[in-house]
Every structure is written in structure tokens, then in C-alpha cells.
Amino acid sequence: MLKYRSISDLVKIFLLPEINKRINEGSINETELPYAINQVRVVQPNENATTIVELNEEATLITRIKLKRPMQVGEIVTLNDIYPEECFFITPCTHQDKPAAFWYYKSLYFDFYLAFDCTPNLPTEFFERIGQSKIKFPLLDLINYKRYAEVVKPNEKIKLLSLNNWPPAPAYHPHVFLEIHNNPRIINDDNFIEVVSNSYHIDYFKKRIGFWEETEFFPDRIQYIKRAIDAHFQEDYICSIHVLVPQFEGIIKDYLNKCEDRPPNGFSDCVRQLKQLVFSRKIVLFEKEVFDTVFSYLQTGSFWKNTNTIDDPSNIINRHGIAHGCFTGFECKGISLKYLILLDSLCYVLLHDKILTNSL
């Protein structure tokens, strides 16, 4: 919870004002919005000096790394030459040779890394008493993530899952993506549901429920969400599906109402309006392609289509057939899990918007 509120404050205090400033200056064109944020470094000098906000490639990182051998200036450094676990930010950060507070944000697909040191902005006597901070820089993790993104290509995998009737969602990353990368045919295997279940296990949903309760994500609906999740893991798939599916339209309409964006009547129109709202926020902190895939799945996928387009309701999600009682005898582990995953996907979209609007 703390990390989400921290990045939300960073967005409100520094990032959005910087984006607005650059739009007014003409360095960011409104056609580029929402502006994709990969990384940010904010340097806030003391004594009321101007705050510096560096976006994406502009971000300057200065770290201290422990070497395994003597090296010359200009020599290429590899992982074999260093102790990657002994990599730290240079603290305090300095600006014009004076200590300065800093924040650093790095997007990591469905997640992010955030580091900050505000001690230089404390009164001098406190700063001197605390001394130098020691903030680890996750060098090896970021290198591994870069390699993973290049080799596994998660954006391709999440689109593939969507095309194969699996709602695009956070917990596929990284294990389900890796399984598909190592064995592309596994997605059509009868045992693939177990691969997905290993990521969407009961402890995962317990943490999600705790987070949704703490943040009052959907306070009037949490009792139904909890009941549906409990029923799924008790293998009562009839209860899980029929309790959960009617909540999707209500969750979206509740959120639009909360944002004072009057929702239309039809579900597909609500999804379209939610997409417009999310992409009106000027920035996107996570992979924009993921949001495009999620909204494409909700808008053009099977969820809201007429019942007569659904060949197999035990495999293909469809709100209409369940809400109107058109399907019988279809309830099973696989389709129940897919509806829970779709809930997680929708909550991921709403979480991002809540971060940007400082409403957590």
C-alpha cells in the first residue's frame, strides 16, 4: 500500500505538473498523450531551488558498485567484473555540489521500482546526525528484467493469451509467460489451467482482497467479491460465477460515477467511456500495450456479446448468457478462474487510474 501511495504522491507533486509544463512549452505534443513513462528521476535541491524532473532517457543515474578487480577509466564493465548485489545509489544526491533529495521510479511491466531519499531536506543538524543513506540499486534485477523482456516478449504473450480466451491480466507475469515461451503449444494443452492456477492461487487472491479492503476499492461490493473467490477455491463454481459476473458492470459504473463521469446504460458503452477516462490522464505508468489489450478484450471480446455467438460457455466468458440465465451446466474450474482473472484485470486498470488521480 505504501509504495502505491508514494508513487501516487510523486505523480501529483512532480510528474503531472512537469508534463503540463512541457505541453505548454511545446516539447510534448498533445498527440503523444497519454505520455508513456518508463522511468523518472526527480531531484529536489534544498533552499527552495528549482526541482529537476528527468523523464525516460533523460534520467541520470549515479551508482556505486564494488569491483572484483582494478579497472581503468573507460574500460567496459561486465557482470563478471563486479558484485552486482553491492550496487547502491550515490547518497546524498547532489546538485551544484549541495545535498539534494531524490526520487527514482522505474516501470517494470505490471509493477514498478521506487527509491527515494528525502534526508537532505531535513534541517542540517538532523541530516548530519543521520549521515549517508545506503539505498540499494537493483542492478541485477533490472538487467534480468531487460533480458526477460527481450527474449520472452510479454506483450506478445499477453495478446496470445487473449486470443485464446484467457483474459489479459497481471499474474501471468512472469511464470505463465515463461511457460508459454518454453513450450508455445502448452496454451492448447488440457493441463494449461494448472499452469495458470499456479499463479492465480488462493494466497494471491487473499492478498488482493486485503488490498481491496484496505483501499476501499469497491466497498459496497467486496462482500460479493470475497464470496465468489471463497466459492471458487471451495470448488463451488456455480456460486463463484453467478455471484461474480453481475458485479463487473456495477464496478465500472460505480467508478465512473465516483469520477463524476456519468455512465451510459450499455456495458460496452461503459467500457468505452472507462477507456476514454483512463487515457485522458496524460500519462501512463505501465505498458500502454497492456491497457490496449485489456480494453480490446473487454470491448471486442466475448464478454459482452450476445449468447448465440458463444459456442462453449464452459470455455468462453460471456456476461449476457449468465446474467440472463441462458447457460446451464457449464460451470467448471476453468471458466470460474477466467472470471476471477478478468476481475483482477479490471482492478489493475482501476488501480493505475487511482494512482494517477491520487485517490488511493
pLDDT tens string 18-39: 999 999 999 999 999 999 999 9
Domain count, the chain: 2
The pLDDT score that the predictor gives to residue 92 is 75
pLDDT at 128: 59
CA distance 357 to 132: 34
162-186: pLDDT as tens digits? 999 999 999 999 999 999 999 999 9
Do 121 and 205 share a domain, yes or no? no
| Boundaries of domain holding 9 | 2-147
pLDDT (0 to 100) of residue 131 = 58
Which grid coordinates belong to 8?
501516487
Question: What single DSSP character describes residue 326?
Answer: -
Q: Which residues contact 98 (CB under 8 A, 6 or more apart)?
A: 45, 46, 47
Instruction: Tell me, yes or no, whether 253 and 283 share the same domain.
Output: yes
Residue 330 near residue 344, CB atoms below 8 Å: no
Residues of the chain with pLDDT under 50: none
Query: What pLDDT, on the 0 to 100 scale, is given for residue 328?
Result: 92
User: pTM value?
Assistant: 0.91
User: Checking phi first, is residue 317 left (phi over 0); if not, alpha (psi -120 to 50) or beta?
Assistant: beta
- Write down which residue in 82, 115, 147 finishes a domain: 147
pLDDT for position 331: 96
Within this chain, do residues 195 and 314 fall inside the same structural domain, yes or no?
yes
Do 188 and 214 contact (CB within 8 A), yes or no? no
What per-residue string of b and e applies to 202-226 under the rule 16 or more CB within 10 Å gives b?
eebbeebbeebeebebbeebeebbb
Note whether 339 and 161 are within 8 A (CB). Answer: no
Neighbours of 32 (CB within 10 A): 12
Bridge partners (DSSP) of residue 107 are 112
Same-domain pairing of 178 and 142: no
Q: How far apart are CA 14 and CA 52, in angstroms?
A: 9
pLDDT of 130 reads 57
What pLDDT was estimated at residue 100?
A: 86
Position 94 scores a pLDDT of 80
In this structure, are residues 43 and 30 in contact, taking their beta carbons and an 8 Å threshold?
A: no
Q: What is the pLDDT of residue 124?
A: 65
Q: What is the 3-state secondary structure (H, E, C) of 192-237?
A: HHHHHHHHCCHHHHHHHHHHHHHCCCCCCCHHHHHHHHHHHHCCCH
Indicate whether 160 and 142 sit together in one domain: no
What was the pLDDT predicted at 95? 78
User: Final residue of a domain: which of 119, 147, 175?
Assistant: 147
Query: Which pLDDT score, from 0 to 100, does residue 126 have?
Result: 59
Question: Of 98, 132, 147, which residue is a domain's last?
Answer: 147
* One domain for residues 297 and 329: yes
- Contacts of residue 315, defined as CB under 8 A and 6 or more positions apart, other chains included, come to 165, 334, 335
Q: Do 76 and 178 belong to one domain?
A: no
Residue 345 and residue 208 share a domain: yes
Buried/exposed code over 130-148 (b: 16+ C-beta within 10 A; e: otherwise): eeebebebbbeebeebeeb
